[in-house]
Structure 1
Amino acid sequence: MVSSATTAKRPARQLLAGAVGHFVEFFDFLIYSYLAIYFAGQFFPSSSGSQLVPLLSAFGVFAAGFLVRPIAGLVIGVFADRYGRRAAMTMSVWMMGAASLLIAITPTYAQIGIGAPIVLVVARILQGLSTGGEYTAAAAFLVESAPANRRGLFSSFMFVSSSIGKMVALGVVALLAGVLGDEAMRSYGWRIPFALGAVIAVVAWWIRHRSQETLEQAETSSGKDTRAEKPGLFEAMRRHPVQTVQAVGLVAGIGGSVYLWTTYFPTYASVMTDLGASASMVASLIGLAVYTVAAPLVGLLADRVGTRPIMYAFAISTAVGTVPLLHLMSAGFVGVLAAQIIGLLFTSLGTSIMAAVLVQMFPQRFRVAGMGFPYSLSIAIFGGTVSTIGTALASAGAENWFGWYIAALSVITLITTISLPRNRRHGVSEERPAGDHAARPGPVHIEP
């Protein structure tokens, strides 16, 4: 099992190493969404006169970045289980930086024709590969690094770091839009954040390179180093099919909610209301600041009361509240801001503890691969398509269905949470899955 005595020697450094890469991943991956309204026309020219046509094409490429994430979650997950979490996290941050640099220098459709969107798709696929392996490798790294009574807190920093990345991305985009103006942003200003993302990826690599590997501290009950028993590509799914399906269901509602409120909402609000892009981004920036403060508090609460009641609170509040919150947009900036803050507070109940719950579900020997494939698959299906579905429904005049779609995803998470096995002390059974001979980590409380 994970040796807390060893991994807790420098927990602050471990926390920074796990979090900083996730910051870079989401800064680089999500500025695409924030900047799509500026560069969509340069890569996908429209002859219809509607701003939604090139925007829909741009978000289609955004979703394409998610299609490769299940493959990356599986392949990079096996790499992390065989060669270490740090090696996988270092590789993922380099891939993300390279992809961002490629987008920053890609010529427009007017300059090279069809080659422009092709290069854009290639870059997004590379980003998808990076992000597909990043979350679960970093999640395992953080939870394995955490003291036994602080795994909920360490888990929460996965989305604390990503929300900081989103805030910085929003701040950079809003600042550039205010300084350069709309015309300059559409011409060249949108390239600046992508170039910046490539630079900070180098910093993240340096920090991660100095971190302590957590896989080295994991041993089987016989004292044998688990890396000597290299896991197979599909071993986790073969041995734990039920947990694989449950992981998909758990992530469905959380993925839909997080990509609505943290990624798509600024663009959605600017399209559906009279607010400009800058005002929508300011509302999102404020909401993300509140979310960043709330997430660690949720993690600390999970360390005290367990995560099952918090998962229930997330699923029920999101299922009931999403439709009314989206209707608040009609109240102008105040309504958009209120919807953003409340939606993110609901979302924090799920994102703050998701890593801790997923880590608990699979044994350490193939934990990252076990989490990686179902997590990335669910995110690709239910998270990566949020912007495309929302834009398509708005284009078809059926925008009222969008909130109900997000609510339905939360119901899936609720049903899955109910299905998780229990024991007298904790919500998820601490018994080893059948056929597994590796010790599991210390318990993450799923229910008191």
Structure 2
Amino acid sequence: MTSTSAPARPGPGHRPARQLLAASVGNAVEWYDWYAYTFLATYIAGQIFPKGAETSLVPLLATFAVFAVGFFMRPVGGLLMGAVADRHGRRAALTVTILLMGGSSLLVGLTPTYATAGLTAPVILVAARLLQGLSVGGEFAASTTFLVESAGPGRRGLFSSFQYVSTTVGQLAASGIAAVLVGTLSAGAMESWGWRVPFLLGAALSLVGFWIRRGAHETLTPADGEGGRPRPGLFDALRHHPRASLLICGITAGGTIAYYTWTSYLPTYAELNAGVAKADALLAGTLALGFFALLQPLGGLLSDRYGRKPLLLFFGVGFAVLSVPLLRSISGFGTLLLVQCAGMVLLTGFTSISAAVNAEIFPARVRAAGIGFPYSLTVALFGGTAPYVGTLFKDLDRPGLFPWYVSALCLLSALVYLRLPESAHKELER
């Protein structure tokens, strides 16, 4: 079989709007499914992991499923689906990831209760969460390369920004649908069948995303001639580009802790440390997320004009200096909303261009796997653990240490950004 090694240049079948739609709709569906589980975890636990279960394996499986499985599988997904994207094309990998997510979402929606299936129920749910983590990890690897390679000259930053636009849209959709169901259904209906609706809807939406992605233009072309290099192996990116792999980790560490703190953990942080009411904290978080999505294309456009480094340093230095005063200033709904929006402005310096920055580090032949594994591993180590680290500091009666933890990781990444060569105006390596 002919090897794949270089991104295709835009041709007659290349339509930028279709490329953006294929990546963005699919990515939004992926993250809708991922966050739906988070928002409905308490209802799922009541049906699948009952407190009065006979066997001690049930609470163990509950803890494993909710807190570990998804994030554990993301680096694996980044590596495996990244390799698929590098060997068989970006579109093939994007098709696999959205079908995996649709299948896992359907599996969650159809999981039997513990009362009807016993231990089989949590085992099925753990399997579904494994597939979700695999899919999300692979989605970032494939969609990052697909978006950036689809961009025309001087537009890689703009295309890159839609990675987090669509992620945020998926998060807001999951939150909104969960809120509507909780607000309209009785508690009994929600506990018995209502929690299944978002997952069944997610499975249906995955089919829509699959249909859109099938018509996308492939950005990776076969190598010319019979003497082309063999297709890359699973670990070729790590083996031949170890410095680039470490660079991805350094670039991502500060960005992922800031992202998960400001988009996911901040409402809980405000409740625990400033006494903000839960409803007010969630409202502030929702408003800030909408503001965040609107900022992303602006950040991408600025980076295309002025470069990646100024935005990365704006983010890294900004959070290193301001994380502590911002988090300590939260005292109520108003200050929480201001703090969250201020953080979103700073965070845009990273999120709007992270896909472009990562893609510009690796050659096309190993780009997807090269990005996918170190990025997802760093997210699992620092982003996924942010809520637990924050809660741990609170339990240890040292809540003031968490802002310093965020600040330190952002300072570390800022030092990496200082040494990073500017790549915005260079041709993407083939």
TM-score category, normalised to shorter length:
0.7 to 0.9
Kindly report the root-mean-square deviation, in angstroms, between the aligned alpha carbons of the 2 structures.
2.9
Per-residue CA shift, 1:103-140, capped at 9, x if unaligned?
22324445545444333322211111101111121111
- Offset at 1:148? 1.3
2:178 corresponds to which of 146, 168, 173: 173
Aligned with 2:218: secondary structure?
A: coil
Moved more, 95-104 or 142-151: 95-104
Per-residue CA shift, 1:390-434, capped at 9, x if unaligned?
3444444443333222222212211222232x3xxx458969xxx
Partner of 1:193: 198
| 1:277-288 equivalence runs, <5 A | 277-288=278-289
Tell me, in whole angstroms, the C-alpha distance in 1 between the residues paired with 2:8 and 2:85. 18
Tell me if 1:256 matches 2:257. yes
Partner of 1:135: 140
Residues 278, 41 of structure 1: alpha-carbon distance in 2 compared, 3 angstrom cutoff: farther
1:73 corresponds to which of 69, 74, 78: 78
Return the letter of the residue paired with 1:249. G
| 1:30-429 equivalence runs, <5 A | 30-44=35-49, 61-109=66-114, 111-180=116-185, 184-216=189-221, 223-224=224-225, 229-270=230-271, 277-331=278-332, 333-420=333-420, 422=421, 426=422
Return the letter of the residue paired with 1:378. T
Return the letter of the residue paired with 2:317. I
Tell me, in whole angstroms, the C-alpha distance in 1 between the residues paired with 2:110 and 2:295. 37
| Contact 1:90–1:205, Cα closer than 8 Å, also in 2 | yes
Tell me, in whole angstroms, the C-alpha distance in 1 between the residues paired with 2:389 and 2:20. 35
Moved more, 9-18 or 36-45: 36-45
Aligned with 1:361: secondary structure?
A: coil
| Contact 1:8–1:147, Cα closer than 8 Å, also in 2 | no
Return the letter of the residue paired with 1:201. S
Residues 226, 326 of structure 1: alpha-carbon distance in 2 compared, 3 angstrom cutoff: farther
| Contact 1:226–1:365, Cα closer than 8 Å, also in 2 | no
- Offset at 1:101? 1.8
Moved more, 85-94 or 343-352: 343-352
Per-residue CA shift, 1:204-247, capped at 9, x if unaligned?
0010011111102x75xxx5599863011111111111111110
Return the letter of the residue paired with 1:125. L
Return the letter of the residue paired with 2:232. P
TM-score by length of 1: 0.84
- Offset at 1:61? 2.3
Partner of 2:3: none
Return the letter of the residue paired with 1:163. T
Residues 215, 3 of structure 1: alpha-carbon distance in 2 compared, 3 angstrom cutoff: closer
Aligned with 1:411: secondary structure?
A: helix
| Contact 1:66–1:380, Cα closer than 8 Å, also in 2 | yes
Aligned with 2:239: secondary structure?
A: helix
| Contact 2:148–2:160, Cα closer than 8 Å, also in 1 | yes
| Contact 2:104–2:131, Cα closer than 8 Å, also in 1 | yes
Tell me, in whole angstroms, the C-alpha distance in 1 between the residues paired with 2:362 and 2:385. 27
Tell me, in whole angstroms, the C-alpha distance in 2 between the residues paired with 1:194 and 1:226. 47
Partner of 1:446: none
Specify every segment of 5 or more residues in structure 2 that has no aligned partner in the other structure, as ranges. Answer: 1-5, 53-58
Tell me, in whole angstroms, the C-alpha distance in 2 between the residues paired with 1:180 and 1:278. 18
- Offset at 1:151? 0.5
Partner of 2:429: 440
Return the letter of the residue paired with 2:429. R
Specify every segment of 5 or more residues in structure 1 that has no aligned partner in the other structure, as ranges. Answer: 48-53, 432-438, 442-448
Residues 326, 371 of structure 1: alpha-carbon distance in 2 compared, 3 angstrom cutoff: same
Return the letter of the residue paired with 1:293. L
Return the letter of the residue paired with 1:294. L
Tell me, in whole angstroms, the C-alpha distance in 2 between the residues paired with 1:86 and 1:277. 41
Return the letter of the residue paired with 1:310. L
- Offset at 1:163? 0.7
- Offset at 1:187? 4.8
Per-residue CA shift, 1:241-295, capped at 9, x if unaligned?
1111110111111112222222333455455565554443322221111111111
Residues 412, 185 of structure 1: alpha-carbon distance in 2 compared, 3 angstrom cutoff: farther
Residues 406, 224 of structure 1: alpha-carbon distance in 2 compared, 3 angstrom cutoff: farther
Return the letter of the residue paired with 2:151. A
Tell me, in whole angstroms, the C-alpha distance in 1 between the residues paired with 2:393 and 2:62. 14
Residues 7, 32 of structure 1: alpha-carbon distance in 2 compared, 3 angstrom cutoff: farther
- Offset at 1:82? 0.9
Identity of aligned residues (%): 44
Moved more, 63-72 or 277-286: 277-286
- Offset at 1:177? 2.5
Tell me, in whole angstroms, the C-alpha distance in 1 between the residues paired with 2:252 and 2:396. 28
Partner of 1:445: none
| Contact 2:29–2:170, Cα closer than 8 Å, also in 1 | yes
Tell me, in whole angstroms, the C-alpha distance in 2 between the residues paired with 1:317 and 1:106. 45
